[in-house]
Structure 1
Amino acid sequence: MTHALVALNAIVLREAQRFVQQRGRFVAALVRPLIWLLVFAAGFRAALGLSIAPPYQTYITYEVYIVPGLCGMILLFNGMQSSLSLVYDREMGSMRLLLTAPLPRWWLLFCRLVASTAISILQAYTFLAVAAAFGIRMPASGYIAVLPALAITGIMLGALGLALSSLIKQLENFAGVMNFVIFPMFFLSTALYPLWKMAESSTLLRDICAVNPFSHAVELIRFALYGQFNAGALGWTALAGIVFFLLAVWGYDPARGLLRRKG
């Protein structure tokens, strides 16, 4: 247990130092959601009407609706960015040194998940603070209640990135693979539009959004920001995180996973 905690501390500190040295990464993580919040939401406000639906008890503006989805966007992009660093580490050889440590492979990968999730949570809270500065505020208790939701979502999306990074042979191929994951996962979810709005245009799109694990992660964050518990969203998000993590462990197993095929 002592060695496992030492490894966790070392990996988290390494990721924190890398993040501090890459200040542009922090700024970029905030620019994307802020553009959606301050530019696109202003244009969609008049065109998109929102009915009263849980967890909201009154009519809300579009800016208020998309804040949980934009928090999910931060976690999604940071999870993929952390996977990019894994591909880079594997090419440079440092990833192989990490995986040869005398600790279970699943624990080493979980440590990477914890490190990337901690950074994602920091970015999400920074975004919520900026949104509050522009007058988009949530209940005070929601800022505390949302912490577990952000952690579970960050681990789920980070595990997805881990699983995808085991598929990528070269760093140059990462951007293409991510574009086929990030944008469909984000746009085919409840991050920007509620399910009933999707159903008005296409039942198929509505069904895709309903099974998208990112939709459930966004709803988990949305309910938590208002101090409410969504058991269904928690269950699906946790289940997806477990499945993605098991795929990542299998993918990084040199005896049975994808690393063996690459060798």
Structure 2
Amino acid sequence: MSPYLTSLRAIVGREALRFVHQRERFIAALVRPLIWLLVFAAGFRAALGLSIIPPYETYITYETYIVPGLCGMILLFNGMQSSLSLVYDREMGSMKLLLTSPLPRWWLLFCKLIGSTAISILQVYAFLAIAAAFGIAMPLLGYITVIPALMVAGMMLGALGLLLSSFIKQLENFAGVMNFVIFPMFFLSSALYPLWKMAESSKLLHSICSVNPFTHAVELIRFALYGNFNGPALLWTVLASVVFTAAALWGYNPARTGIRRKG
């Protein structure tokens, strides 16, 4: 297991160093959800009424409702950012060097997923700390019980990023693809409004939101923040993660990429 652990430590360490040296990335990851939390939520609070729905046992403010969705936003954007770095590495040659190592390709991509997910979770906790400082705090136990949910959701969204990076050959094309994926996934979900509100306006949009993997990732985080377990959300998130990972492994298959192993 020594070569496997060595590669895991090297890849995760590389992700951590890249994150430390890219402070703008950390700030940008917090600015986006904080704008929604502190600016947009103030305007939407009066327009959107919320009923008492699980996992909430009483009426809540709109700011409280969108916190899990904004945690999902951080995971989503960081998953896409991580896949952007893969496209860059492939253009610069370092990715080709990595994929020609004797270790299984699935393990190398898994290490990349672990590294990007760990960074995402750190960013989520930084956001939760700032939200708590503004008086939007979750139950204390929720800060612990949400960790597995963040790991599962982060792996799923990171796998989606890997899948996209396997088909995008040029860095210039990635921004358009990111917008094509990120914004529909985010807005067609329960991140900003409950699904029953969507059902009131459009049955079709409600159906799309219901099958959106990001919706289930957000609901998994939402229930975990209140110490509750959401079995269907976990099932759909894990299923989406398996599908995205399998498709990404196929996308990075040497027969497709032309990247052959050494020796």
TM-score, length basis structure 1: 0.97
Q: Tell me the amino acid that sits aligned with residue 108 of structure 2.
A: L
Give, in whole Å, the separation in 2 of the partners of 1:99 and 1:145.
35
Give, in whole Å, the separation in 1 of the partners of 2:199 and 2:22.
41
Q: Counterparts in 2 of 1:60-99, with a 5 A limit?
A: 60-99=60-99
Matching residue of 2:168: 168
- Asked if 1:20 corresponds to 2:8, the answer is no
Post-superposition shift, 1:260? 4.4
CA-based RMSD? 0.9
Matching residue of 2:210: 210
Q: Tell me the amino acid that sits aligned with residue 202 of structure 1.
A: S
CA displacement 1:167-208 (0-9 Å, x = unmatched):
111000000011110000000000001010000100000000
User: Identity of paired residues, percent?
Assistant: 79
5+ residue gaps, structure 2 = none
Q: Tell me the amino acid that sits aligned with residue 4 of structure 2.
A: A
- Asked if 1:147 corresponds to 2:135, the answer is no
Give, in whole Å, the separation in 1 of the partners of 2:179 and 2:80.
10
Matching residue of 2:50: 50
Q: Tell me the amino acid that sits aligned with residue 153 of structure 2.
A: T
Q: Tell me the amino acid that sits aligned with residue 181 of structure 2.
A: V
Matching residue of 1:245: 245
5+ residue gaps, structure 1 = none
Paired positions, count: 259
Give, in whole Å, the separation in 1 of the partners of 2:20 and 2:138.
29
Give, in whole Å, the separation in 1 of the partners of 2:103 and 2:229.
36
TM-score, length basis structure 2: 0.97
Post-superposition, which runs of at least 4 consecutive aligned residues in structure 1 deviate over 2 A?
A: none
Q: Tell me the amino acid that sits aligned with residue 188 of structure 2.
A: L
CA displacement 1:63-107 (0-9 Å, x = unmatched):
000000000000000000000000000000000110011111000
CA displacement 1:29-60 (0-9 Å, x = unmatched):
00000000000000000111000000000000
Matching residue of 1:219: 219
